[in-house]
Amino acid sequence: MNEFYLKIYDIVRKIPQGRVSTYGSIAKCLGASKSARIVGYAMNLSHQYDLNIPAHRVVNRNGLLTGKHHFATPLLMQQLLESEGIIVKNNQVQNFEKVFWDPCQ
DNA sequence: TCACTGACGGGGC
DNA sequence: CGCCCCGCCAGTG
């Protein structure tokens, strides 16, 4: 747990309800565009610490729910998104361009 | 040190 | 379009 991770968590906490962002755009926003994988790893860690991180709002560049298996149940990620009004079909966020939120805005 | 593993992304074709 | 290859880099054993 270092400052880089804390910055990642700061940004993820700012993602509004009903919107999603991507690992890569978050990394790029922090000036580390090549460290998208690390963002994913940080999301993985966020479960074991008692941080209040909406990790379900972070998907990959294609809008795919690649991290669903790291939640309590594989369906939880999709259910959380749908409860915020996001439509998920075949592990993929629909209207991805519309709900995408740029962390650097 | 080394090798391997990913909740990744860009570029080529 | 989709698919594949490759660079990336923190953690782990």
Q: What is the pLDDT of residues A8-49, one digit of tens each?
A: 999 999 999 999 999 999 999 999 999 999 999 999 999 988
Those residues whose beta carbons lie under 7 A from strand C are A 2, 5, 34-38, 41
**A21 phi and psi angles, rounded to 5 deg:** -135, 180
| Strand B within 7 A of A40 CB | yes
Residue A88, token pair as written in the block:
């998920």
Residue A103, token pair as written in the block:
């962390």
pLDDT tens-digit map of A47-94: 988 899 999 999 999 999 999 999 999 999 999 999 999 999 999 999
pTM of the model: 0.94
Domains observed in chain A: 3-99 (1.10.10.10)
Strand B contact residues in chain A (10-29), C-beta within 7 Å:
22-25, 27
Location of structure tokens 């439509």: A87
CB–CB of A84/A17 below 8 Å?
Answer: yes
Distance A83 CA to C4 C1' (A): 36
